[in-house]
Structure 1
Amino acid sequence: MNASVLDDAPVCVTRDDGILIVRLNRPAESNAVNGALACVVSAAMDELDNDPSLRIGVITGSSKAFCAGMDLKAYLQNDVPATERGFAGITRKPPEKPLIAAIEGFAVAGGLEIALSCDLIVAARGAKLGVPEPKRGLVAAAGGLIRLPKRIPYQVAMYLAITGDYIDAERAYEIGLVNELCEPGQALERALLLARRVADNAPLAVRASKAIVRGALDLDEEGGWELQDRLGLPALDTEDAREGASAFAEKRQPVWKGR
């Protein structure tokens, strides 16, 4: 891994064989989001989307937490924890390439909304997830209340939204919010294993598949077919598609070119 951001920065960004690893790095504040953190995350998402050598990203937290949400002390000082990509530099405009959240300890308030901006979630057993904003006179306004009822049953989404209570990672896994459970301290390792499985696939096909799945959530069946035809059919006429077919016929691993 090659660090591209200093270890004492609000976010540490590293690379590992086509995977961009983004580590929220404000442990004294439980990785709460301020303006500086949001700016670095936003730049990292731009890097992920624009660098063809990168296939997928993983976002995690330093120390024993994923993220406690907005830094309320910074908020009271008019520090804006958002960029054009939204809160934390990600929630309104996530990257076009896949992103995995690796959660240790807790992902609450805006921290859960960051995780919900990702495509897959790996969480350590016992980790807490929730949107406790009503307990502080706030509303979870970084996409959590929009995305939760699309990911989990209505009654559970409403329970989280209006009680402000937490659920643990085990319960989140049961209802499909978390993709993989792991032992404490292993979330990043497990997320990287999952990321490598995705990175082994054809990059154009992965990117198009993500866009279709995400877009289909807000479309009727006719709109879904139109989206699929527009984004999926061009993949049939790529070098990667021909390489995939050739590799299968020749019983070898494909060599993707991203074109």
Structure 2
Amino acid sequence: MTAVIFEQQGAVARIILNRPEAKNTLNAEVFVRLNEAWEEVRNNDAIRVAVITASGEEDFCCGGDLGSVIPLWTGARQPQNEIEEKLLADPMIVDRVMLKDRPLHKPVIAAINGRALGGGCELLQATDIRIAADTAIFGLPEPKSGIVPGAGSLVRLARQLPYAHAMKLLLTAEPVDAVTAQQMGLISEVVSPDQLQARANELADIVAANAPLAMQAIKRTVLESHTLPWEDAFKLEMEQTGAVMMTKDAREGPRAFKEKRKPVFKGE
């Protein structure tokens, strides 16, 4: 059984963490396969949006596999197979899996089916639209074990949430439910578990129908301008806006509106 399932349906990629028996924790195979999945999304022009979710009903991802990958990194045990050797040979793989080293400018939707703890909560911070089942739980429990949530949360969380909410999650290490997470701004919507995948797919179809170069320019500008001075940020915005305005898609949209039909965007 593969630890990460990758599916493509038209312009939508679906990435499914598939270790429900192990709380969908991140072991060597998950890191390697998830990195490969992100690269396919990044490099495949036919893919316009990705949905990341997990198998099972209890866990989205409960962080790193403490009995497997952590001892591997600390040297407490030696690699047992090619996948583990590949993980150890690539020191930047965690940054790429968490979309830190190479930000992904295509939209990513998270469908959070259960507990998102530790690295799982950090992974969802790398996504753009976050839909959670009302049974989902979110938390960064690392300080309870003497470590820190250093796979993105120390930088991303206080930029994505109001400061006081971010620091409450980081410093108490206490979990919150889906409704509280939405009130904090950590997630976009809360739905019943039986509606989760349908809602995520609905949003993916909506995003995929938009002009792909426009979507990528929007995300790129938001990510890259976030810490820039206003003058530089507006300059970047104008550069990206101008680039999109020169595309064939920018001409197709108004033409389709005038002709009273749906636009056919080709990413050109």
* TM-score when normalising by structure 1: 0.92
1:124 corresponds to = 133
* 1:112-144 CA distance string (max 9 Å, x none): 110000111010113111111001111000001
How far apart in 2 are the matches of 1:194 and 1:15? Answer: 16
Of 93, 97, 103, which residue of structure 1 is paired with 2:112? 103
* 1:182-225 CA distance string (max 9 Å, x none): 10243222111111110010000000011111222211211111
Q: Secondary structure at the match of 2:132?
A: strand
The question of whether the paired residues in 2 share the 8 Å contact of 1:130 and 1:167 is answered with yes
Q: CA RMSD in A?
A: 1.6
The question of whether the paired residues in 1 share the 8 Å contact of 2:2 and 2:18 is answered with yes
Q: Secondary structure at the match of 2:45?
A: coil
How far apart in 2 are the matches of 1:100 and 1:83? Answer: 27
1:245 corresponds to = 254
Is the alpha carbon distance of 1:163 and 1:113 closer, same or farther for their aligned partners in structure 2, counting shifts above 3 Å?
same
User: What runs of 5+ residues in structure 1 fail to find an aligned partner?
Assistant: 1-7
Q: 2:75 matched to 1:67? A: no
How far apart in 2 are the matches of 1:91 and 1:133? Answer: 20
* 1:169-192 CA distance string (max 9 Å, x none): 111112222111110243222111
Q: 2:26 matched to 1:18? A: no
The question of whether the paired residues in 1 share the 8 Å contact of 2:32 and 2:93 is answered with no
**Percentage of matched positions with identical amino acids:** 37
How far apart in 2 are the matches of 1:25 and 1:154? Answer: 33
User: What runs of 5+ residues in structure 2 fail to find an aligned partner?
Assistant: 74-83
2:92 corresponds to = 84
The question of whether the paired residues in 1 share the 8 Å contact of 2:31 and 2:93 is answered with no
The question of whether the paired residues in 2 share the 8 Å contact of 1:38 and 1:87 is answered with no
1:161 corresponds to = 170
Is the alpha carbon distance of 1:226 and 1:249 closer, same or farther for their aligned partners in structure 2, counting shifts above 3 Å?
same
* 1:136-161 CA distance string (max 9 Å, x none): 11100000121111111111111111
Deviation of the 1:167 alpha carbon: 1.1
Q: What letter matches 1:95 in structure 2?
A: L
Q: What letter matches 1:138 in structure 2?
A: I
The question of whether the paired residues in 2 share the 8 Å contact of 1:104 and 1:185 is answered with no
Aligned length: 252
* TM-score when normalising by structure 2: 0.89
How far apart in 2 are the matches of 1:44 and 1:146? Answer: 24
How far apart in 2 are the matches of 1:128 and 1:211? Answer: 29
Q: What letter matches 1:21 in structure 2?
A: R
